[in-house]
């Protein structure tokens, strides 16, 4: 039986790539400390900033919200009701439960009421559903953060997500995307600051954190997530990690340390300007959400 390295209590929690055994109490302390270190290292925000956590009802975003509030940050939740039946209902239900136990507000936006449901849009838009959903979510999260007076939006992207995206972009040398793969996207040009405080914690670490804290979350995936290529990449990365623990963290951290700064040299402003219709930031004349609106109205 392994014992906690701090208090010597017998424990089943072991983190291979850090070679750490911790009891529940010390695991929570270690996890929160790791999140705090990431926030400070990348200068994500200060105690004066109001943070809006984009939650989905999944383990990662709920772990993030719980950890930020436990660390003393002013962090509230935001969820979009995507209208995906039981999945959306469950997602909102667990997020509301956490909101009450944290004593923080959860803002819920009903996409169907305020815009169009994803399923309706899909009937007139031939892009993959996740691409439509991603565009719409990014737009409304940014818009709501500004409307509600939050300076920062935090998302629950974890190390596994970041490594999968990094691998995909490296395999095709997609320099434009690699140039933007950083845990902080600065505010400006109509965008609030976007941050990923869980970029150095794995999916498994987030799962352990919610389980230890008895936070209810939606265990099953969105009904439209099937076939996402990132799942295949994640399996491949997991095999590498099992053979050589620490590979994921090294790949990502060394990219940020050695490659990311090189990619910033000589980068011009991306040419973001206000959308001619709604005034929200876009790289074209009319933003992607206004283009959807135009398609929907015929
Ligand atoms: Fe949207 Fe579901 Fe795709 Fe996620 S998996 S982007 S929630 S459609
Ligand atoms: Zn302990
Ligand atoms: Zn627009």
Q: What's 183's DSSP letter?
A: S
Does residue 33 fall inside a structural domain? yes
**pLDDT for res 227:** 61
Among 87, 222, 226, 231, the mutation site with the greatest number of ligand 1 atoms within 8 A of its Cβ is 222
Domain match, 56 and 195 both? yes
**pLDDT for res 271:** 79
Does residue 64 fall inside a structural domain? yes
Q: Tell me the two tokens of residue 110.
A: 């009903």
Domain match, 243 and 287 both? no
Location of structure tokens 């979009």: 80
Domain match, 131 and 75 both? yes
Distance 208 CA to ligand 2 centre (A): 15
Query: What is the C-alpha to C-alpha distance for residues 212 and 24, in angstroms, rounded to an integer?
Result: 6
- Ligand minimally distant from the alpha carbon of residue 231: 1
Ramachandran bin of 173, using left for φ above 0, alpha for ψ from -120 to 50, beta for the remaining angles? left
- 7 annotated to bind ligand: yes
Half-sphere exposure in the Cβ direction for 279 (13 Å, CA): 2
Query: What is the C-alpha to C-alpha distance for residues 107 and 65, in angstroms, rounded to an integer?
Result: 13
State the residue range of the domain holding 272: 268-298
Ramachandran bin of 43, using left for φ above 0, alpha for ψ from -120 to 50, beta for the remaining angles? left
Does residue 4 fall inside a structural domain? no
**Burial classification of residue 157, based on how many CB atoms lie within 10 Å of its CB (0-12 exposed, 13-18 middle, 19 or more buried):** buried
Distance 224 CA to ligand 1 centre (A): 6
Domain match, 235 and 191 both? yes
- Ligand minimally distant from the alpha carbon of residue 91: 1
Domain match, 205 and 80 both? yes
Domain match, 111 and 227 both? yes
Domain match, 226 and 133 both? yes
Domain match, 277 and 154 both? no
Q: Report the DSSP beta bridge partners of residue 75.
A: 51
**pLDDT for res 13:** 95
CB 105 within 8 A of CB 99: yes
Does residue 252 fall inside a structural domain? yes
Sequence-separated (6 or more) residues with CB below 8 Å from residue 220: 87
H/E element, 110 = strand 106-110
**pLDDT for res 92:** 98
Does residue 128 fall inside a structural domain? yes
**pLDDT for res 232:** 84
Does residue 274 fall inside a structural domain? yes
**pLDDT for res 276:** 96
Query: What is the C-alpha to C-alpha distance for residues 32 and 26, in angstroms, rounded to an integer?
Result: 10
Residues with CB under 5 A from ligand 2 (ion): 4, 6-7, 23, 26
Q: How many domains does the chain have?
A: 2
**pLDDT for res 193:** 97
In this structure, which residue's CA is closest to atom 6 in ligand 1?
Answer: 130
Report residues whose beta carbon is within 6 angstroms of any ligand 1 atom: 129-130, 133-134, 222, 224-225
Domain match, 261 and 295 both? no
Does residue 19 fall inside a structural domain? no
Query: What is the C-alpha to C-alpha distance for residues 7 and 26, in angstroms, rounded to an integer?
Result: 8
Domain match, 82 and 214 both? yes
Domain match, 175 and 120 both? yes
CATH number for 186: 3.40.50.620
Low-confidence ranges of the chain (pLDDT < 70): 227-228, 268-270
In this structure, which residue's CA is closest to atom 3 in ligand 1?
Answer: 130
- Ligand minimally distant from the alpha carbon of residue 218: 1
Tens-place pLDDT, residues 86-144: 999 999 999 999 999 999 999 999 999 999 999 999 999 999 999 999 999 999 999 99
Say what the pTM is: 0.94
Does residue 8 fall inside a structural domain? no
- 130 annotated to bind ligand: no
SS3 content of the chain, % helix, strand, coil (to 5): 50, 10, 40
CB 233 within 8 A of CB 170: no
Domain match, 292 and 177 both? no
Sequence-separated (6 or more) residues with CB below 8 Å from residue 124: 295, 296
């Amino acid at each position: 039986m392994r014992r906690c390295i701090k208090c010597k209590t017998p424990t089943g929690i072991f983190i291979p790539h850090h070679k750490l055994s911790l009891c529940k109490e010390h695991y929570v302390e270690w996890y929160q400390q790791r999140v705090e270190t990431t926030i400070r290292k990348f200068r994500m925000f200060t105690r004066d900033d109001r943070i809006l956590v984009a939650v989905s009802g999944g383990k990662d975003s709920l772990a993030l919200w719980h950890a930020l509030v436990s660390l003393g940050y002013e962090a509230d939740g935001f969820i979009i009701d995507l209208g995906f039946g039981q999945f959306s209902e469950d997602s909102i239900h667990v997020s509301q439960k956490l909101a009450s136990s944290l004593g923080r507000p959860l803002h819920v936006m009903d996409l169907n009421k305020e815009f169009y449901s994803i399923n309706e849009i899909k009937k007139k838009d031939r892009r993959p559903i996740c691409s439509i959903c991603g565009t719409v979510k990014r737009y409304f999260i940014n818009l709501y953060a500004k409307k509600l007076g939050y300076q920062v939006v935090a998302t629950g992207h974890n190390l596994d997500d970041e490594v999968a995206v990094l691998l995909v972009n490296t395999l095709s040398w997609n320099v434009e995307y690699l140039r933007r793969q950083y845990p902080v996207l600065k505010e400006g040009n109509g965008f609030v600051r976007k941050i990923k405080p869980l970029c150095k914690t794995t999916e498994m670490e987030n799962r352990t954190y919610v389980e230890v804290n008895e936070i209810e979350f939606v265990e099953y995936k969105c009904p439209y997530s099937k076939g996402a290529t990132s799942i295949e990449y994640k399996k491949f990365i997991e095999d590498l990690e099992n053979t050589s623990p620490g590979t994921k963290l090294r790949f990502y951290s060394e990219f940020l340390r050695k490659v990311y700064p090189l990619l910033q040299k000589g980068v011009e402003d991306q040419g973001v300007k206000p959308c001619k219709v709604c005034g929200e930031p876009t790289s074209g004349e009319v933003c992607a959400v206004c283009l959807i609106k135009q398609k929907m109205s015929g």
